[in-house]
Amino acid sequence: MSKKAMTVLLSAGLVFSSLPSAVLADPPPAGSPADQAFDNKVVKKISADRLFERVRDLSQSPREAGTQGEWQAVQYIKEQFESYGYQTELQPFTFQEWESGQPSISINDTPFTGGIHTFYGSINQNVEAPLYDAGLAGPEDVTDEADGKIALIERGGYSFYEKIQNAIDHGAVGVIMYNREGASGHTFGYTYDGQKIPAAAISREEGLKLAERIKEEPLTANLAIQGAGTVDKTSYNVIATMKAHKNKDTGQIVTIGAHHDSVADGPGANDDASGVSGVLELAEIMAKTPTDTELRFMTFGAEEKGLVGSYHYADSLSEPEAGRISAHFQMDMIGSRDSGDLIMFTPDGNKNLVTDLGAAAGARVAEVVEYGQLGRSDHVPFFERGIPSALFIHAPLEPWYHSPEDTLDKISREKLKETTEIVGAAVYQIARPDTPALENARVAPGPVHYEFDDRPL
């Protein structure tokens, strides 16, 4: 931990066990006016309206990584940063995406008209063979009767790997899988290295119809997969930097991030236009607030493709640069009116500098914020580089995340504002130029207790 980071914790009374009690005498109770005054420079300026309007601007349509929708969002974010006076960098990177190609199915020479998705990793091949009902394709379900046939499989119960391997081991020449009970759509499925078979996914409704028909009459299926494969796509991180005040520079860096990409078919108002708006709001406010710490505001691309943008950013840091980053704050899904309370997640489930600062800021601004264990967002690559980091999110989650229903009408101005205030107050606590001098001051906030919380997602 850097000397400045340690000093900040001391002044916040967070490392109180090692301090003489005189230093901690009479801290004001959490949430008192003195506590709030301490944060006013940042907190008072945060605007719920501005936060909401940016979510509106960003959530007009999907922003899937590598698409025009993402590019428009990237331009918007860059223009916003620049309008606040920041030098802004676009950091491009490539990632691999699976393309379904042109899959087709026909049954007894009649073309299948439902949606078809090529399994990730499927081979390109055209096969024609009797259709065989393999049920769930568990070890007991598939027999040698599958030999030379196309297996019709219901999703669920076993892994994709097991199901497909059982079909291959019994001589099947193709796989058509329909969705599991309760699941809609047909976009799913993986084959693994060495499973050289054409495989496609269809909806549950269509699959059940075929399973019924097979009981009545023998069916011949044609399964043709062509043009499927991985393609390289480009996505971007957007990075705006505010240098420390010249005479006060501690050499320390704090990063504040969110991801701007969404899933393919959702406008991602909460996931994660909300977090992007929080990052932009803090950038706008901090642009006019001198600090002794360099602040880097960033939005990541291709988070939904496997944290690709944040891994790219973290991997691009030199050792000395990574060593200068004292804290990473990640905001992801911070504005749903239908989710639970704010929580701070760390990948290892341990407290760190970020959760300590977040809990202390929470107590001053609103309430104590608990912590828990979760990866699944862009704090992970920072954590893996040894940088204290945490994800600020509300849990339990709203049920429609990753769906077309993740829209602006379900966004709460209050949730956006409160979360951004807490993150802003926590960032400012470490970045404010007067922190060491506050060590003994009566306005310095008192210690807070916050606990591990394993609430469901």
| Site membership for Zn ion, residue 294 (CB under 5 A) | no
- Candidates 306, 349, 386, 396; binder of ligand BES (CB under 6 A) is 306
457 binds ligand BES (CB under 6 A): yes
What are the backbone dihedrals phi and psi of residue 433, each rounded to the nearest 5 degrees, phi first? Answer: -70, -20
Q: Residues 37, 39, 40, 43: is their CA dihedral positive or negative?
A: negative
For residues 115 and 104, give the distance between their C-alpha atoms in angstroms, rounded to a whole number.
9
Residues near ligand BES (CB under 6 A), total: 13
* Residue 398 makes contact with Zn ion by CB under 5 A: no
Sheet of strand 325-331: strand arrangement = 87-99, 229-242, 294-300, 253-259, 325-331, 389-395, 341-346, 370-373
Q: Which residues pair with 345 in a beta bridge?
A: 372, 391
Q: Strand ranges (DSSP E) for 18-124?
A: 87-99, 104-107, 110-111, 117-118
Contacted entry of Zn ion, ligand BES, none for residue 418, CB cut-off 5 to 8 Å set by kind:
none
Q: Which stretch binds Zn ion (CB under 5 A): 102-110, 172-180, 271-279, 382-390?
A: 271-279
Candidates 24-32, 56-64, 189-197, 373-381; binding stretch for ligand BES (CB under 6 A)? 373-381
Calpha distance 412→420 (Å, rounded): 12
Question: Nearer to ligand BES by C-beta: 271 or 294?
Answer: 271
271 near ligand BES, judged by CB under 6 A? yes
How distant, in Å, are the alpha carbons of 57, 103, 182, 418 from that of 43?
23, 54, 44, 9
Q: Which of 272, 284, 356, 378 binds Zn ion (CB under 5 A)?
A: 272
Q: Which two tokens stand for residue 74?
A: 């990237």
Is residue 70 at the binding interface for Zn ion, with CB under 5 A as the rule? no
Shortest approach of ligand BES to residue 372 CB, angstroms?
10
- Choose from ligand BES, Zn ion, none: what does 322 bind? Cβ within 5-8 Å by kind: none
CB of 204 to ligand BES, least distance (A): 21
Instruction: Verify binding: residue 304, ligand BES, rule CB under 6 A.
Output: yes
What minimum distance in Å lies between the beta carbon of 391 and ligand BES? 7
| CA torsion through residues 273, 279, 281, 287, sign | negative
- According to DSSP, the residues that pair with 95 across neighbouring strands are 233
User: What is the H or E stretch that residue 49 is in?
Assistant: helix 48-58
Contact yes or no for 314/385 (Cβ under 8 A) = yes
How many residues comprise the chain? 457
Of these partners, ligand BES, Zn ion, none, which one is at the site of residue 397 (CB under 5 to 8 Å by kind)? ligand BES
CA distances from 142 to 139, 153, 172, 274 (A): 6, 10, 10, 47
Pick between residue 114 and residue 340 the one whose CB is nearest to ligand BES: 340
Pair 340, 396: CB distance under 8 Å: yes
Binding residue count for Zn ion, defined by CB under 5 A: 3
Assess 332 for contact with ligand BES (CB under 6 A): yes
Q: Does 271 bind Zn ion (CB under 5 A)?
A: yes
The radius of gyration of the chain from alpha carbons, rounded to an integer in Å, stands at 26
276 near ligand BES (CB under 6 A): no
Give whichever of 148 and 306 is closer to ligand BES, judged by the CB atom: 306
Q: Residue 224 or 397: which CB sits closer to Zn ion?
A: 397
Give me the least distance between CB of 270 and Zn ion, in Å please: 8
Among 303, 370, 398, 418, binds ligand BES (CB under 6 A): 303
Closest CA to 337 of 416, 414, 412: 412
Q: Among residues 28 and 266, whose Cβ is nearest to Zn ion?
A: 266
Return the number of the residue (273 or 374) whose C-beta is nearest ligand BES: 374
From the list 88, 82, 37, the residue with the least C-alpha distance to 239 is 88
Q: Does 154 bind Zn ion (CB under 5 A)?
A: no
Q: Segment near Zn ion (CB under 5 A), from 86-94, 308-316, 327-335, 344-352?
A: 327-335
Q: Would you tell me which residues interact with Zn ion (CB under 5 A)? A: 271-272, 332
Q: Would you tell me which residues interact with ligand BES (CB under 6 A)? A: 271-272, 303-304, 306-307, 332-333, 374, 376-377, 397, 457
